[in-house]
Amino acid sequence: MRFAVLGAGAIGAYLGATLARAGSDVTLIARGPHLQAMIEHGVRVQSPRGDFTSHPAATADIDALAEADVIVIGLKAHSLPELAPAIGERLRPGAVVVPAQNGLPWWYFQGQHGPLAGRTLESVDPGGVISRSIATERVVGCVVYCSTEIVEPGVIRHIEGTRFTIGTPDGVATERCGEISQALVAAGLKCSFDEQLRRQIWLKLVGNAAFNPITTITRSTMGALRGSERAITYIRTVMEECAAVAASVGVELPISIDRRLEAGLAVGDHRTSMLQDFEAGKQLELGCMVDAVVEVAAMTGAPVPNLIALSELTAALEQLRDAGAAGASGVAPP
């Protein structure tokens, strides 16, 4: 079984390096200095489980997808609509797509029954381009419980977590799902199939929708938020709104909000992916993490005033950053 990782950033490169070290056939697809470093020196992983260097194949050529049985999508969710048609065109017979991405996935309302069945989430799949390009039966959903960051090109810091929970839109365990799980477990990772993957999606999202924007606005690590009772109170309020939206689509979280809050704070000295993107001048993942929840809330009538405010404030912060960068370069902002 051959793996390709499209968008081999912090998570994708870590996963690919770990699989390759265990003997899996892996190709990483990336670009820029990060790609060049991986080609020249391999993927260097710094981890509390032990540092290692792995040498999977690495390329900028998207045509490498055509040789893969499993395509792991490590791209940010907002980057996928543009590339989805190219991905769909290159899928070989029997190949599956594993989106290892944050937030609500484009396929969330596919493969299920109910009043919202088949609905498109415009926040993550504008115009339904991803849904048209990648058939539902090709999807193996994935929830990543793993914190990593790129220290420098080709160097990944693995902070904590090794769990990748997978599932299909219709909840049926396929033979391919078993093969994926076996490969990850053989690489020393945790990978189980969950027929109720949407519950795991919401469990992670309840934290991401609150922690990511709030750490970005406050420029704080997860653990540093403990120093502000007001921040913790607001995080809990946002989490409760998210949980109410999950309940409005029939999902009950498997743990309490307080336990989910404490688990996030316990990560400690970690900058969320959104804070990392903000500091790097990159586009923020508001669409999949926050706006998609607001969109679902509008479908079901769940009130989410704090989520809406958080989205607007974070988007304003991003605009101000970009305007400042444009001004500093002498280029007028659009």
pLDDT given for residue 302 in this prediction: 98
Averaged pLDDT for residues 12-17: 98
CA distance 90 to 61: 12
In this prediction, residue 140 has a pLDDT band, given cuts at 50, 70 and 90, of: very high
pLDDT band of residue 83 (cuts 50, 70, 90) is very high
Q: What is the pLDDT of residues 86-119, one digit of tens each?
A: 999 999 999 999 999 999 999 999 998 889 999 9
Q: Would you give the end-to-end CA distance of the chain in angstroms?
A: 47
In whole numbers, what is the pLDDT of the chain averaged over residues? 95
Candidates 76, 190, 204, 282; catalytic one: 204
- The listed CATH number (3.40.30.10, 3.90.1150.10, 3.60.20.30, 3.40.50.720) that belongs to domain 2-195: 3.40.50.720
Q: Which residue has the tokens 């115009």?
A: 127
Domain extents for the chain?
2-195, 198-323
Closest CA to 117 of 205, 198, 192, 206: 198
| Known active-site residue 204 | yes
**pLDDT, tens only, 37-51:** 999 999 999 999 999
- Domain 198-323 belongs to what architecture? Orthogonal Bundle (1.10)
Express each pLDDT in 267-305 by its tens digit.
Answer: 888 889 999 999 999 999 999 999 999 999 999 999 999
Among 50, 4, 59, 56, residue whose Cα is nearest residue 31: 59
Would the pLDDT of 332 be above 90? no
